[in-house]
Chains A and B, each alone.
Chain A
Amino acid sequence: MNRHLPKKTGHGVRNALAACAAASMLAVSGAASAGVIKVGVSLRMKTETGEKYGQMVVDEFEAINAAGGINGHTFEVKLLNDECKSDIGVANATKFAYQDNVHLFIGSSCSSVSLPIVDVLHKAGVPMLIPHSTNYKITLKGSPWVYRVPISSRFSAAAAAKYTAENIGTKIAYIWASDAASQADAQKFFEYIETFHGEGPVYAEQFQEGELDLRAHLLKIKAMKPEALMISAQSQDFARGLVQSYEVGIPPSVKRIGGSAASNRPAPILSGDAIKGVFFHAAFSYADPDPKVAEFVKMTAERYGVANPDHDFSQAWDSVHVARIAIEGAELTLTDDSLAADRAAIRDALGSVTGYVTLGGGVVDFCADATPECRDGNKTPVLIEYTKGGEDYEIRVIGKTTFGADFGLASMAEEAEKLRESLDN
């Protein structure tokens, strides 16, 4: 730059400018690393609800900063929308890992997005804390960089299946959307019924995400007279299937069951009265009488105008606080040169988080091994039933159950081996 200064400029001025430039470069370089923990967040924020829980994540980190940070360090949070699309999620994760040099990645909401991100962050060596994705394969891949706050489908689908078999029946029809979470929910559900009750699905078919007309499936199901119908899909596909199931004449006596996405706010809003009596598994219920839940609901109502937050809200909140607890115990240098060491320190610190009680009442216990037993933190699904649909929907808790850390893994050994191989390639 100095080469272009006019010749009239004296040496003194030129030197002063050079000194200023050098000083400012040093200052910028120092500010970019020392004392700043960079967090990259990628969530599904296609709707107003998604935008609100995304904002809540940012706000919670800012609140920690306002309270003095952690061990003198403050958070710098970057929030991106992956629209529940795997290509966008991978692009976000790549940017965070290699361009923004984040120390921690939080994301994504959708299993279809989190699954490929695991590979990206495993190669980049960035700790990944999953706030919402439930597909069991995510931790089965065995990456040492991955931790999950929500409940894996191997626990939650089994809880719903157990309840269905014991209280409704085992003659069940399944339709599920092509996204990873919905597939896993349905698959683990009917595997449980087959394994423990010896009854195969009456009907089991997949449909494309966003499919507008599910009536051909539903008419076939109607003719088979099942005792229950499981529609495992993201909230809008679930709602559509639910409404159309009544439209084609499947009687109300056939119990409707949702997957984990049935808990998302749009589901009862879109379904209206059709959702009454539907039950699903989730990690949290705003109807829980726990005072901590009441306080959380009050906060979301006041700050974000959401009086009945779903488990996407609660788990986003839990994820921030799990990260906070982990980082409190991590020894961080936070310079440009220490990036890899800081990332590894946060990874190891996450592995030492135990006994964190989530808003839903489950307990997150992580440990160091790169196994699902250690990385599926919460093992307590909640079974919830809708008692009213629409904007001001209402729910009731049917029950909670806690599984052993190794539940369901015995039958997954071969699949786990293949997933680990693909991760290493």
Chain B
Amino acid sequence: MELLLDFVIVGVSIGIVYGLVALGISLIFSGLDIVHFAHGEFYMIGSFLGIAVILFTGAPYFWALIGAMIISGVLGVVVERVFYRRLTRGGGGYTVAGMGMIICGFGMSVALQNVAYLLWGAAPHPYPVGFGMPIFLGNIALPKSYFYILICALVLMTVLHTFLTRTKLGLAVRAVAYNKDTSYLMGVNVPVMISLIFGVACAMAAAAGVLIGPINYVQIEMGYLMLLKAFAAAVVGGFGSLPGALLGGIVVGLFETLCAGYLIASYKDIYAFLLLIVVLMVRPTGLLGILVKVKA
């Protein structure tokens, strides 16, 4: 029983991180109808930015999290405006330019990795924070960093949910996600909303990067596997569904950890993708997904 609880704690903690990255992927998909393949790199850069904030300003970990989110959010807006936006100029909007944007995302992923290499090098970097020894409840270890992950994820989700459902700006974002043409006609500044979606999504990825930093070292190749896992989480939860992304993340994290715990631990990564395949076969819309519909 204790071992099961240990596995659940580890599974939920890593699952929440998958969920945060998946949240950004789903947000971009819901707004732009594309899968953003450079999202893993925003997670990586966010993690590096967290270290930079701590080292250059001496700020505590919480402010490093906020700082990395703000800088990554702005970077996301810049990338969207400067690179992705150009692809829509040929007409047809984001939906028509989707394939070009997906390919551009791959290119952006390589470019951002190389920029990170130039800035921080190939060596892994330890996070300059210490949480000390875990809290023990009998034999069960509860690392303090997991509490931080849980609390921060809940706060971020609540803030995002409140923003999307209780503010006019959030309403505009949801309108753009639902139908861009109608949103234009209703006077919504669609390009600004799309930039906002990109910025928020990249800030979420950065938050995940900063939260995972103290558990894993930060290095330029860290985004690739996280992107795949977050993609699996987004699909399992229901592509385009924001609560589904977080739920999918937790389900993927729990499933892979429990399988690794009770089956063969060396195949841990395979279990997540097995789950992805099963979900696609049995329930293609994911746990909280809705049937795919044609959007403008």
B265 interface residue per 8 A CB criterion: yes
Stretch touching chain A among B211-219, B231-239, B276-284: B211-219
Question: Which residues of chain B (112-141) have a CB below 8 Å from chain A?
Answer: 121-124, 126, 130, 133-134, 136, 139-141
- Which of chain A's residues have a CB closer than 8 A to the CB of B80? none
Stretch touching chain B among A54-62, A90-98, A242-250, A414-422: A242-250
B103 interface residue per 8 A CB criterion: no
Known: A212-B222, A213-B268, A217-B265. A249 touches B140 (CB 8 A): yes
Q: Nearest chain A CB to B198's CB is how many angstroms away?
A: 26
Question: Which residues of chain A (200-250) have a CB below 8 Å from chain B?
Answer: 205-208, 210-213, 215-217, 219-220, 222-223, 236, 239-240, 244, 246-249
B204 interface residue per 8 A CB criterion: no
Per the bound structure, the CA–CA distance linking A246 and B265 in Å amounts to 18
- Which of chain A's residues have a CB closer than 8 A to the CB of B195? none
In this complex, which of A49, A211, A213, A223 has the most chain B Cβ atoms within 10 angstroms of its Cβ? A213
Q: Nearest chain B CB to A200's CB is how many angstroms away?
A: 18
Known: A48-B121, A249-B134. A205 touches B265 (CB 8 A): yes
A144 interface residue per 8 A CB criterion: no
Query: Could you say which of B10, B124, B126, B260 contacts A248, with CB atoms under 8 Å apart?
Result: B10
Known: A249-B140, A272-B126. A222 touches B6 (CB 8 A): yes
Instruction: Name the residue on B nearest A269 (C-beta).
Output: B126
User: Is the beta-carbon distance between A246 and B133 smaller than 8 angstroms?
Assistant: yes
A46 interface residue per 8 A CB criterion: yes
- Which of chain B's residues have a CB closer than 8 A to the CB of A271? 126
User: Is the beta-carbon distance between A236 and B6 smaller than 8 angstroms?
Assistant: no
Instruction: Name the residue on B nearest A45 (C-beta).
Output: B122
A interface, by DSSP: helix, strand, loop or mixed? helix
Instruction: Name the residue on B nearest A210 (C-beta).
Output: B221
Question: Which residues of chain B (196-232) have a CB below 8 Å from chain A?
Answer: 215-217, 219, 221-222, 225
A266 interface residue per 8 A CB criterion: yes
A184 interface residue per 8 A CB criterion: no
Per the bound structure, the CA–CA distance linking A109 and B14 in Å amounts to 34
Instruction: Name the residue on B nearest A212 (C-beta).
Output: B216
Known: A219-B10, A249-B134. A47 touches B121 (CB 8 A): yes
Known: A46-B123, A216-B7, A216-B268. A249 touches B217 (CB 8 A): no
User: Is the beta-carbon distance between B261 and A219 smaller than 8 angstroms?
Assistant: yes
The proximity string for B residues 5-35 relative to A, scoring 1 for CB distances below 8 Å and 0 otherwise, is 0110010001000000000000000000000
Per the bound structure, the CA–CA distance linking A239 and B216 in Å amounts to 10
Per the bound structure, the CA–CA distance linking A49 and B260 in Å amounts to 35
Per the bound structure, the CA–CA distance linking A223 and B7 in Å amounts to 11
Count of CB-CB pairs between chains A and B under 8 Å: 89
- Which of chain B's residues have a CB closer than 8 A to the CB of A157? none
- Which of chain A's residues have a CB closer than 8 A to the CB of B126? 239, 269-272
- Which of chain B's residues have a CB closer than 8 A to the CB of A46? 122-123
User: Is the beta-carbon distance between A266 and B123 smaller than 8 angstroms?
Assistant: yes
Known: A247-B145, A249-B134. A216 touches B217 (CB 8 A): no
User: Is the beta-carbon distance between A216 and B260 smaller than 8 angstroms?
Assistant: yes
- Which of chain A's residues have a CB closer than 8 A to the CB of B225? 212
B3 interface residue per 8 A CB criterion: yes
Q: Nearest chain B CB to A156's CB is how many angstroms away?
A: 25
- Which of chain A's residues have a CB closer than 8 A to the CB of B121? 47-48
User: Is the beta-carbon distance between A216 and B222 smaller than 8 angstroms?
Assistant: no
- Which of chain A's residues have a CB closer than 8 A to the CB of B265? 205, 207, 216-217, 220
Per the bound structure, the CA–CA distance linking A269 and B217 in Å amounts to 11
In this complex, which of A48, A206, A210 has the most chain B Cβ atoms within 10 angstroms of its Cβ? A210
B266 interface residue per 8 A CB criterion: yes
User: Is the beta-carbon distance between B141 and A220 smaller than 8 angstroms?
Assistant: no
Q: Nearest chain B CB to A253's CB is how many angstroms away?
A: 13
Q: Nearest chain A CB to B13's CB is how many angstroms away?
A: 9
Query: Could you say which of B3, B124, B136, B257 contacts A215, with CB atoms under 8 Å apart?
Result: B257
User: Is the beta-carbon distance between A216 and B3 smaller than 8 angstroms?
Assistant: no
B93 interface residue per 8 A CB criterion: no
- Which of chain A's residues have a CB closer than 8 A to the CB of B222? 212
Per the bound structure, the CA–CA distance linking A215 and B134 in Å amounts to 14
Per the bound structure, the CA–CA distance linking A222 and B7 in Å amounts to 12
User: Is the beta-carbon distance between B260 and A270 smaller than 8 angstroms?
Assistant: no
User: Is the beta-carbon distance between B257 and A248 smaller than 8 angstroms?
Assistant: no
Instruction: Name the residue on A nearest B225 (C-beta).
Output: A212
- Which of chain A's residues have a CB closer than 8 A to the CB of B2? 223
- Which of chain B's residues have a CB closer than 8 A to the CB of A239? 124, 126, 217
- Which of chain A's residues have a CB closer than 8 A to the CB of B6? 219, 222, 248-249
Per the bound structure, the CA–CA distance linking A211 and B6 in Å amounts to 20
Question: Which residues of chain A (172-190) have a CB below 8 Å from chain B?
Answer: none
Per the bound structure, the CA–CA distance linking A266 and B123 in Å amounts to 8
User: Is the beta-carbon distance between B217 and A236 smaller than 8 angstroms?
Assistant: yes
Per the bound structure, the CA–CA distance linking A394 and B7 in Å amounts to 35
B170 interface residue per 8 A CB criterion: no
Which residues does B use to contact A, with CB under 8 Å? 2-3, 6-7, 10, 14, 121-124, 126, 130, 133-134, 136, 139-141, 143, 145, 215-217, 219, 221-222, 225, 257, 260-261, 264-266, 268-269
25 of the cross-chain contacts (CB-CB < 8 Å) are: A48-B123, A205-B264, A206-B266, A207-B265, A208-B266, A211-B268, A216-B7, A216-B10, A216-B257, A219-B6, A220-B3, A222-B141, A239-B126, A239-B217, A246-B133, A247-B134, A247-B143, A247-B145, A247-B215, A248-B141, A249-B6, A249-B139, A270-B217, A272-B126, A273-B130
Which residues does A use to contact B, with CB under 8 Å? 46-49, 205-208, 210-213, 215-217, 219-220, 222-223, 236, 239-240, 244, 246-249, 266, 269-273
